[in-house]
Structure 1
Amino acid sequence: MSVITLIRHGQASFGQAHYDRLSDLGQRQASLLGPDLVERGLIPVRVFAGSMERQQHTAQLALAAAGLELEVETDPGWNEFDHEQVLQAFRPEFSSNTAIKAFAAQQQNPQRFLMEQTYQAFSRWQSGQHDHDYHEPWQQFSVRVGAALARAEQLARDKQRVWVVSSGGAISVVAQQLMGFDNAQALKLNWHLVNAGVSKILASKDGLRLSSLNDHALFDKDNELVTYR
């Protein structure tokens, strides 16, 4: 059975000027993940990642820690959507991650405020009623990710085992397309995907099947390693 191992990047640098960079903890997550995947027999023949720094670095660290000398091939179809632009279209004062963090810090419950505002912003994006506000509307993003999944499926059939490093939004879309979730369920799933969590997709002549989703048992012994951004 051919397998696509779909990996969410390690923790990024939320609230920093350069968000698209693994935090120290994110680097640790990625380095722990590589050997664990090899121990589980999920040894890739090819490895792909989106073009974002946090995706590329996660793949590189996982491979290095696992002792695998494979090139990280780039497929921008796995890139995350532009969450900053989605948030700014909803609230112009959310002009950057730094601005969002500063604005939230002024609220009585910053974490709840961020969750509520982000959920409303993403729901607005998904609705299709304001597509002119976004350089990549939700439907376009969904189609892009579906095309990347189709490419990975073909490679998995040819090469048996493939790693793909992507992001929460894209992984949620994959789960939606394979399991028939509606948009609201896909959005909720995105909130619960763990950094460096693993989803396993089986590829056969009958198509793709989601075998596991958001597996992060590797981090169960250390709660510090379970993060969501």
Structure 2
Amino acid sequence: MTTIYLVRHGQASFGKTNYDELSENGEAQAKILGQYFKKTITEQPLIISGAMKRHQQTTQIALNECFPQADYQTNALWNEFNHQQIFSRYEPKFEQPELLKQEIHNEIDPRTYLAQIFDQAIQRWTDESYHHEYDESWIVFKTRVEVALQNLCTELQNTQAKEAIVFTSAGVISVIVGKLLELNIQRTFALSWSIANTSITTLKLLNNEPQLFSMNEHQFIKSQNPDLLTWL
């Protein structure tokens, strides 16, 4: 039975001009992830990374701990949606990430406030009336992710590889899980809030069809350093 490990990247730089870069926490998380894979994966798997910088950094740091000589594929189909554009189309002032971060910081319950903004921004993005206002509409993003997964399943079937690791993002993982569990859009994106940085979601291929085996495994981070457990 073939196993696919979907890994969310390490903590990025939320609220900074360049979000697409690991924070110090993110680098530490990626290192612990690699140490975990060294204990649990004995043979080198097929390895794929999204093309974003945070994907690449997480991949390289983790592989340095478990498969330092391994080559990996870079595939932009596994990239995250443009969350900064989605926020700014919902509220133009959020074109500056620092303003969003400051507004969240001023709230009594920052996480709840961010979740509310995110939900409303996603609602607008997934509304067909506004698809033309985004560089990548919801339906195009969803289709891209589904194609990425199907391509991977075909490659695994053709190569007979037993394991694959994909370094990607929470939105991508949520879409895949949502499809497998037949969730609606709202419930699909609600998953994003539960997916921890560098957590592992595992799929098993049965007759070349992906099945959800486990989701959001992050005990390996919590057991080493609970303070490193993050969701943003």
TM tier relative to shorter chain: over 0.9
Q: Please list, as runs of the form range in 1=range in 2, the aligned pairs for 1:204-219 lying within 5 A after superposition.
A: 204-205=206-207, 207-219=209-221
Deviates more, 1:35-44 or 1:1-10: 35-44
Match of 1:140 in 2: 140
In 2, Cα distance between equivalents of 1:137 and 1:126: 7
Q: Map 1:1-229; keep pairs closer than 5 Å.
A: 1-41=1-41, 43-157=43-157, 158=159, 159-205=161-207, 207-221=209-223, 222-229=225-232
Q: CA deviation at 1:129?
A: 2.7
Runs of 4+ in 1 over 4 A off after TM superposition: 106-109
Gaps of 5+ in 2: none
Q: 1:84–1:95: 8 Å Cα contact kept in structure 2?
A: yes
Shift of 1:113: 2.4
- Distance in structure 1 (CA, Å) of the matches to 2:201 and 2:68: 20
**What percentage of residue pairs aligned between the two structures are identical?**
30
Q: In structure 2, what is the Cα distance between the partners aligned to 1:45 and 1:105?
A: 41
Q: Deviations over 1:92-115 (max 9, x none)?
A: 111132221133344454443222
Between the aligned partners of 2:17 and 2:7, the Cα distance in structure 1 is 25
TM-score normalised according to structure 2 size:
0.93
1:66-97 per-position Cα deviation (integer Å, ceiling 9, x unaligned): 14311221110000000011011100111132
Mark the runs of 5 or more structure 1 residues left unpaired by the alignment: none
Distance in 2 separating the partners of 1:120 and 1:7:
26
Contact between 1:87 and 1:94, CA under 8 Å: does it hold in 2?
Answer: yes
Shift of 1:202: 0.9
Does the CA contact (< 8 Å) of 1:156 and 1:203 recur in 2?
A: no
Residue 199 of structure 1: SS of its match in structure 2? Answer: strand
How far, CA to CA, are the matches of 1:93 and 1:227 in structure 2?
26
Deviates more, 1:19-28 or 1:200-209: 200-209
Letter in 1 for 2:150: A
SS at 1:17's partner residue? coil
Assess if the C-alpha contact under 8 Å between 2:8 and 2:197 holds in 1: yes
Q: Which amino acid aligns with 2:162?
A: Q
Aligned-pair CA distance for 1:44: 3.7
TM-score, length basis structure 1 = 0.94
